[in-house]
Amino acid sequence: MAVEVKLPRLGQGMEAGTIVRWLKSEGEAVSKGEPLYELDTDKVTQEVEAEADGVLLKIVLPEGEADVGTTVAILGSEGEDVSELIAGAQGGNGGAPAAAADEAASEPAKSRAEEPRSGSEPQGSLAAPARRPGERVKASPLARRIARERGIDLAALTGTGPDGRIIAEDVEQGVAAPAPAAAPAAVPAGEVEIVELTSVRKTIARRLTEAWQAPVFQLTVTANAVELVATRERMVELLREGEVKPTVNDVLTRVVASALVRHRPVNATFVDGKLQRYPGANVGIAVAAPSGLIVPVIRDADRKSVQRIAADRADLVSRARDGKLQLADLEGGTFTISNLGMYGIEQFIAVLNPPQVAILAVGSIEDRPHAIDGKLEIAPTLTLTLTCDHRAIDGSEGAEFLRTVKQFVESPALAL
Amino acid sequence: MPELTYREAVRDALARALREDDGVFLMGEDIAEMGGSMAVTQGLLEEFGPQRIRNTPISEMAIVGSGIGAALQGMRPVVEIMYEDFLTLSMEQLVNQAAKHRTMSGGQLKVPLTVRTQGGAGWSPGAQHAQQLEAWFVHVPGLKVVFASTPEDVRGLLWSSIYDDNPVVFFEHRTLYPIKGEVPEELEPIPLGKARVHREGTDVTVVATGRLVHESLAAAEQAEADGISVEVVDPRTLLPLDEETIVESVKKTTRCVTAHEAVTRGGFGAELAAVIQHGAFDYLDAPIERVGSKFAPLPFAPVMEQHVVPHAADVLEAIKKTVARA
């Protein structure tokens, strides 16, 4: 039976290698242990031996770089039809489209092998994951567990085990791979602060890296905040003893919540590959806690008074700063607001908070030139930037939501 | 510590039990004057006399059957079946009688019988005198099954088997009789159901029984030279099985090879593989490899025999498969 010759991992940390030249030609018989090709790694160049007896039926990768586990040749018995294997190797290695694979499968292997090699062979893309779309991912139970625990997508990995199986080391390598450590700059000892990542920091890193993969787009509006500020001031005036003083952000949370329940495509999360759109708004508010960014959730914000939201917010923020939040305080959010206005940031782009599909970045409220009724006036304005996950939301849906938010900011009474 | 051969260790356990307890006696074919076909019982007739070291007719059914009768009457008989191939002739007594009385009588009866036997290839005994049939008995509730691989283990386990109140089928391996090993001055009973970790390692666990324990230890040495760290575990008692030790070992190493001389198909390695895949599923990084004899009646010709039964090289190959890259 024909076997695929795969690029081996010759040492810890080896991710890829470059085939310098083949020591056997197609059609030549090889025995197990005989040098087959020369492989250049970042450390050494060495001869790689055949792992089985047979005839070298096909050299898939004549020369060039490929990832560990990539099929570089097919070994089998003379005259054996390996067209499917070749198609699989080429298609699976990420190159040939399905049509080409079909074509290859329908041709006898021999004639194909005898064809002069055209320049269109997918050498450059051989490094892609060795799997066809929709093909089952082969992974050991241990590899699956590690991937599950660390939230790693197995489909993105290349397996170096038998038959391309992903084994534990591939997952470990796969995690380590995206962060090729740049050589540390030469700094005198004692001046560099080494910060071990806390588990919170690691979670932030993992979730935000994950979020960064999403195809997102941003929409920005600038709103006149006169009414918003006035409303908040009036509320503070009417404050009863013992009540928490509402902030502009509390009022904003309330009006955004109202906008969310009117625009459910934005008030949604991904669950098991499906979208769940919610009738009520649980609004997460990004808080800078000592341990790092954390997003406690104000539940049913669309049905709470601003006063109640302020009370909830004060409780959550103080507990966040004391590190006393419960898991329940952080779960169930349907949307997130991130406000950096208090730092004077005029506008910014927030990164998605998965599985939510949108997040609102709120800038500072400041007196700025603003056109009102055709005249240039000075008015307090704020800039709102909505980040949308395009897998869930189209531009028009995001725009409609943001238009409503702007209306509510400019006339908070409309949010009732 | 004194050094004994495996054969002497078996004899020592028998002699000590005979001295300790009048209820212990031996029965078997040619075990008295001749000292047994494997010379295990040599000298016992002289010390303990013909009442307690008894020759029997050539009838395995009668040997085990009368052993059961004596055990039911409160004795602790140790009967010898010359070759484990001949256990087939005593199956009715072992499977339908010895294994069942205790539960069928609601615990009113017990059968403290030990059935010693030996087998194994490596000396051209042919197809009918060297099989490894231990897996058959692991399938029978009511029996205990022991397979010892070292002088120390065989002595301590035989003692525990004699003093166990259940019928125990006790396997010895023909080619292990001459091996030597240190044993404690005082006989220390080894509890049934406790595995032994012969060698610690981090990359792959080899669970081996009988002769293959030694082959596996040799393979582990060779693997070490290739940078593969191998743990070797001998269950020693196949029934009851020390699942915890085995599963924990595989959880640590994430890979496993089972090895015995019995044919692979339906062998004890299959049971081990089932226990391990269930207990350590999320820890396995490679399929469990099984090493055993090829599925063929054992050939007489030495070169053919060597071809059929497994050796250290087969274990080493399986070890490498479990840690293989593409």
Range 72-91 of B in CB contact (< 8 A) with A: none
Spell out the SS3 assignment of A129-181. CCCCCCCCCCECHHHHHHHHHHCCCHHHCCCCCHHHCECHHHHHHHHHCCCCC
CATH number of A316's domain? 3.30.559.10
Looking at the structure, tell me whether residues A155 and A300 fall in a common domain. Answer: no
Least CB–CB distance from A161: residue in B254, B281, B325: B325
Q: What is the pLDDT of residue A95?
A: 40
A53: domain CATH number is: 2.40.50.100
Residue A62 predicted with pLDDT over 90: no
Q: Is residue A323 domain-resident? A: yes
Task: Tell whether A291 and A347 lie within a shared domain.
Answer: yes
Determine the pLDDT at residue A47: 81
- Please indicate whether residue B46 or residue A89 has the higher confidence score (pLDDT): B46
Q: Provide the β-strand partners of residue A222.
A: A383
Q: What is the pLDDT of residue B153?
A: 98
Q: Please indicate, yes or no, if residue A147 is contained in any of the structural domains.
A: yes
Shared domain for A95 and A148, answered yes or no, is no
For residues A278 and A167, state if they share a domain: no
Q: Give the gap in angstroms from C-alpha B280 to the nearest C-alpha of chain A.
A: 9
At residue A241, the pLDDT reads 87
How far from B58 is each of A81, B90, B305, CA to CA, in Å?
61, 12, 28
pLDDT band at A43 (very low <50, low <70, confident <90, very high): low
Q: How far out from the chain centre does Cα A54 lie? A: 43
- The whole-number average pLDDT for the span A343-355 is 93
* High-pLDDT (> 70) share of chain A, %: 83
In a domain, A144, yes or no: yes
pLDDT of residue A133: 61
Q: What is the mean pLDDT of residues B87-96?
A: 98
Chain A residues bordering chain B (beta-carbon distance below 8 Å) = 4, 6-9, 68-69, 140-145, 159-164, 167-168
**Chain B: closest CA distance from residue A158 (Å):** 11
pLDDT over 80 at A397, yes or no? yes
User: Does residue A148 surpass a pLDDT of 50?
Assistant: yes
* pLDDT value for B325: 67
Which of A129, A146, A162 delimits the end of a domain? A129
- ipTM for the predicted complex comes to 0.76
Are the C-beta atoms of B258 and B289 separated by less than 8 Å? Answer: yes
Distance from CA of B308 to the nearest CA of A (A): 22
Name the pLDDT band for A94 (thresholds 50, 70, 90). Answer: very low
- When CB atoms are compared, the residue of B286, B321, B326 closest to A140 is B286
Mean pLDDT on A78-93? 73
Instruction: Say how many domains are in chain A.
Output: 3
Pair A125, A158 in one domain:
no
Q: Which two tokens stand for residue A219?
A: 């929409």
Query: Best mutation site among B250, B278, B282, B285 for testing chain A: the one with the most A CBs within 10 Å?
Result: B285
Q: Which residues of B are catalytic?
A: 60, 129
Count of C-beta atoms within a 10 Å radius of residue A357? 29
Q: Does one domain contain both A170 and A214?
A: no
Whole-number Å distance between alpha carbons of B78 and B170: 10
Residue A320 pLDDT greater than 80, yes or no: yes
Report DSSP state, residue A334: S
pLDDT in tens, B269-324: 999 999 999 999 999 999 999 999 999 999 999 999 999 999 999 999 999 999 98
Tokens of residue B319, six digits:
């070890």
Kindly state the average pLDDT of the residues B246-273: 97
Is A185 contained in some domain? Answer: no
Look at residue A191 and tell me if it is in a domain.
no
Question: B88, B275 in Cβ contact below 8 A?
Answer: no
pLDDT of residue A406: 95
Inform me whether the C-beta atom of residue B317 falls under 8 Å from chain A C-beta atoms: no
A74 and A168 assigned to the same domain: no
Residues in CB range of B299: below 8 A, 6 or more apart:
B126, B127, B305, B307, B308
Which region among A48-52, A81-85, B99-103 has the lowest average model confidence (pLDDT)? A81-85
Place of tokens 């391996």: B173
Query: What stretch of H or E contains B82?
Result: none
Of A8, A145, A161, the CB nearest to B282: A145
Query: Rounded mean pLDDT of A1-14?
Result: 78
Which residues on neighbouring strands pair with residue A221, listed in sequence order? A384
Out of A177, A210, A233, a domain closes at A177
Q: State whether A237 and A357 are in the same domain.
A: yes
**Which residues have a Cβ under 8 Å from the Cβ of B209 and sit 6 or more positions away?**
B134, B147, B149, B234, B235, B236, B238, B259, B260, B268
Per residue in B192-220, pLDDT (tens digit) is: 999 999 999 999 999 999 999 999 999 99
Percent of chain B scored above 70 by pLDDT?
A: 99
Active site residue A263: no
- Mean local confidence (pLDDT), B240-267: 97
The answer to whether position A83 is within a domain reads yes
What value does the mean pLDDT of chain A take? 82
Mark whether A124 and A82 lie in a shared domain. Answer: yes
A50 has pLDDT over 50: yes
Mean confidence (pLDDT) of chain B: 97
Q: Which of A372, A390, A391, A395 is catalytic?
A: A390
Type of residue found at B313: A
Q: Quote the domain boundaries for residue A337.
A: 202-415
Q: List pLDDT tens digits, range A116-139.
A: 444 443 333 333 445 566 677 889
Contacting B residues, span 211-270, partner chain A, CB-CB under 8 Å? 254
Residue A196 in any domain: the answer is no
Domains and CATH numbers, chain B: 3-182 (3.40.50.970), 196-322 (3.40.50.920)
CB contact (8 A) between residue B285 and residue A143: yes
Is A142 within 8 Å of B324 when comparing Cβ atoms? no
Residues above pLDDT 90, as percent of chain B: 98
The pLDDT value recorded for residue A190 is 60
| Per-residue pLDDT tens over the stretch A216-226 | 999 999 999 99
At A104, the pLDDT band (50, 70, 90 cuts) reads: very low
Q: At B245, is the secondary structure helix, strand, or coil? A: helix
Per-residue burial over A115-141, b = 16 or more CB atoms within 10 Å of its CB, e = otherwise: eeeeeeebbeebbbbbbeeeeebbbbb
Q: In this predicted model, which residue has the larger pLDDT, A162 or B164?
A: B164
State the pLDDT at residue A114: 40
Beta carbons within 8 Å of A187's beta carbon, 6+ residues apart? none
pTM: 0.54
Q: Predicted confidence band at A67 (pLDDT cuts at 50, 70, 90)?
A: confident
Residues A253 and A324 in one domain: yes
Chain A residues near residue B281 by CB distance under 8 angstroms: 141
Same domain, residue pair A226 and A89: no
Rounded to whole angstroms, how far apart are CA atoms B103 and B99? 8
Please state the rounded mean pLDDT for residues A319-343: 88
For residue B135, pLDDT beyond 70: yes
**Strand, helix or coil for residue A289:** strand
Domain holding A167: CATH number? 4.10.320.10
Report the chain A residue with the minimal C-alpha distance to residue B253. Answer: A142
Band (A111; pLDDT cuts 50, 70, 90)? very low
pLDDT above 80: residue A351: yes
Biggest CA pair distance of chain A: 92
- Looking at residue B68, what is its pLDDT? 98
pLDDT reported for residue A126: 35
Query: Rounded to the nearest 5°, which phi and psi values hold at B173?
Result: -110, 130
Lowest mean pLDDT among A5-19, A245-259, A272-286, A395-409: A5-19
- DSSP assignment string, A63-108: SEEEETT-EEEEEE-TT---HHHHHHHHHHTT-S-HHHHHHHHHS-
**Length of chain A measured in residues:** 416
10 Å Cβ neighbour count for A197? 11
In a domain, A115, yes or no: yes
**Do A90 and A207 have their domain in common?**
no
pLDDT class of B326 with cuts at 50, 70, 90: low
Mean pLDDT computed over B75-85: 98
Q: Quick check: A316 pLDDT over 50? A: yes
Look at residue A188 and tell me whether its pLDDT is greater than 70: no
